[in-house]
């Protein structure tokens, strides 16, 4: 390993040692995981991930206001209880319909099982993710700009039906959810089975994108899935079995402008 890479690895390993603690999650240092960690319900946790865009403190405030037990009740109750709820690009109907969709899905399937059906074929995280998104739209019977923004579009494919690396967004919120559900440590929940954490992809957001460039983990200038895959590949040089353990450290370095 090059001297520069050794220095980066040492920096990140120190940050991990410092950050891998529940004390890192607080209202003073807000993160959607602060709310997600209260639940064992994979659907409630996915809602925490999908609404995790914008200012961290406002994300946590909105998630705190949601009653995730509605996922176990009736659609009539969802309509009643969420009548005045909205969040940024999601209006009240969008919020109601994501709850209704997840309620329907929860009655029939585990998200883990849906994901595994597509992932297991080639241990491909992106295939599992695309299949999950496809299933959400099947159950939704609803669409709008706000709903599509929340759930994301299905991944774009080439003429051979392979998922494109260039031309797709990084799918940051989805990869963050997968990190939460597959990895297990003082931060991540580790509730899913059957997925190898070495297959995970970095949840690339604007913080981790810029920090990755500054540290020399990424030379590419385009914020897309290809860049997420390139940083992930670089992090595998530091830990081939668990490259995404570096995600939270990279995120905090960027958020706190430490580098």
Quick check: 13 pLDDT over 80?
yes
Find, among 4, 5, 3, the residue nearest to 235 by Cα.
Answer: 5
Instruction: Work out the widest C-alpha separation in the chain, in whole angstroms.
Output: 61
Give the model's pLDDT for residue 211: 94
pLDDT confidence of residue 131: 98
Residue-range definition of the domain harbouring residue 119: 3-255
Average pLDDT of span 124-152: 97
* pLDDT given at position 256: 84
In the predicted model, is pLDDT for residue 78 greater than 90?
yes
Instruction: Tell me the average pLDDT of the chain.
Output: 96
Tell me the per-residue pLDDT of 106-116, one tens digit each, with 9 for 90 and over: 999 999 999 99
Cα–Cα distance between 185 and 15 in angstroms, integer?
15
Q: Which of the four pLDDT bands, split at 50, 70 and 90, describes residue 258?
A: confident
Whole-structure pTM value: 0.96
pLDDT digits (tens, 9 = 90+) for 154-203: 999 999 999 999 999 999 999 999 999 999 999 999 999 999 999 999 99
- Spatial distance between the Cα atoms of 110 and 76, rounded to a whole number of angstroms: 23
Asked if residues 227 and 203 have their Cβ atoms less than 8 Å apart, the reply is: no
CB of 53 closer than 8 Å to CB of 88: yes
Mean pLDDT to the nearest integer, 45-63: 97
How many structural domains are present in the chain?
1
**Is the pLDDT score of 94 beyond 90?**
yes
Round to whole Å and give the CA distance between 83 and 77: 10
Which stretch of 25-29, 58-62, 169-173, 200-204 has the lowest confidence by average pLDDT?
A: 25-29
Burial profile 5-25: b = 16 or more Cβ within 10 angstroms, e = fewer: eeebbeebeebbeebeeeebb
Q: How many CB atoms lie within 10 A of CB 158?
A: 11
């Amino acid at each position: 390993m090059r001297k520069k890479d050794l220095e980066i690895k040492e920096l990140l390993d120190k940050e991990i040692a410092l950050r891998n603690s529940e004390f890192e999650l607080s209202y003073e240092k807000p993160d959607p995981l602060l709310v997600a960690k209260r639940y064992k319900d994979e659907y409630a946790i996915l809602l925490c991930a999908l609404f995790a865009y914008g200012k961290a403190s406002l994300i946590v405030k909105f998630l705190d206001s949601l009653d995730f037990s509605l996922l176990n009740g009736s659609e009539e109750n969802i309509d009643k209880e969420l009548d005045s709820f909205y969040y940024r690009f999601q209006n009240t109907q969008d919020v109601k319909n994501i709850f209704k969709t997840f309620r329907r899905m929860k009655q029939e399937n585990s998200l883990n099982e849906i994901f595994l059906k597509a992932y297991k074929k080639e241990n491909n995280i992106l295939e599992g993710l695309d299949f999950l998104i496809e299933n959400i739209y099947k159950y939704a019977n609803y669409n709008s700009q706000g709903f599509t923004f929340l759930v994301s579009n299905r991944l774009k494919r080439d003429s051979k039906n392979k998922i494109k690396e260039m031309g797709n967004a990084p799918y940051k919120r989805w990869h963050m959810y997968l990190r939460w559900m597959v990895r297990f440590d003082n931060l991540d929940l580790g509730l899913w089975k059957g997925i190898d954490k070495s297959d995970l992809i970095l949840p690339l957001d604007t913080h981790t994108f810029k920090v990755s460039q500054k540290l020399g983990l990424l030379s590419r200038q385009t914020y897309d899935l290809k860049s997420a895959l390139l940083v992930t590949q670089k992090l595998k040089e530091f830990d081939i079995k668990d490259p995404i353990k570096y995600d939270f450290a990279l995120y905090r370095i960027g958020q706190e402008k430490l580098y």
